[in-house]
Structure 1
Amino acid sequence: MPNRIIPEHVRLAAKRAFVRTTYQGYAGTLSTGLSATVVMAVVNGEVDPTTAIVTAAVTVLAPPIAGLAAFLNISSQGIPDDYTPPPATGPHA
């Protein structure tokens, strides 16, 4: 087995953090809508193309960027203690 800079279990946790954070970002975006300001602009017929394009770009790109930040954080600092299960206790531990 080759010697890796980042252990496999840390890489797996980082990948999971990327996916989870990205999905949570999209879930938040979809559940709240793109933006109340954009919705009001459409309703009022005052849509500025620049604002619409920038809002759409941020909506699409922000979740994967947050996921990448989570991936890099875990890759560089290791798995946070909150992500590891507590040690087993009891007669079968």
Structure 2
Amino acid sequence: MSTSIVPDSTKLAAKRGFIRTTAQAYSTSLAGGISTTVIIGLTTGEVQPIPLAITVGVALVTPLLAGAASALSILSRGIPGEYVEAGLDEAAESDGFTTPEG
């Protein structure tokens, strides 16, 4: 009998959710936030260090918060149904079965 409150499969899904969400948030944050600051600096002819530092700080911290929110959501609510269905489809395919669409 396991003494763990959270099943290992849910912990794994939470880790994957954290990584995926953090990576997606970084791609948006870095592209949008820092690009905007650089474009404004080039347009005005001066780069202001304080707004640039704030933008970089936000761009680096916000994705981590989004990833943590994803992981905590999965840990508290369990594995989302979409994850379960995708896992079952992958397991069936690896066993030689195909889905109705495939």
- TM-score band (shorter)? 0.7 to 0.9
**Greater helix share, 1 or 2?**
2
Aligned structure 1 segments of 4 or more residues deviating by more than 3 angstroms: 30-33
Scaled by the length of structure 1, what TM-score is found?
0.79
AA paired with 1:79?
I
| Fraction of identical pairs, as percent | 40
Higher relative contact order (CA 8 A, sep 6+): 1
Shift of 1:60: 0.7
Q: CA RMSD in A?
A: 2.3
**Mapped partners of 1:50, 1:23: distance in 2:** 26
1:29-88 CA deviation, whole Å, 9 max, x = no partner? 34446142x123321233332211110001111111100000000001101112211767
Matched, 1:41 2:34: no
Matched, 1:67 2:67: yes
Scaled by the length of structure 2, what TM-score is found?
0.73
Aligned to 1:14: 14
Structure 1: unaligned runs, 5 residues or longer: none
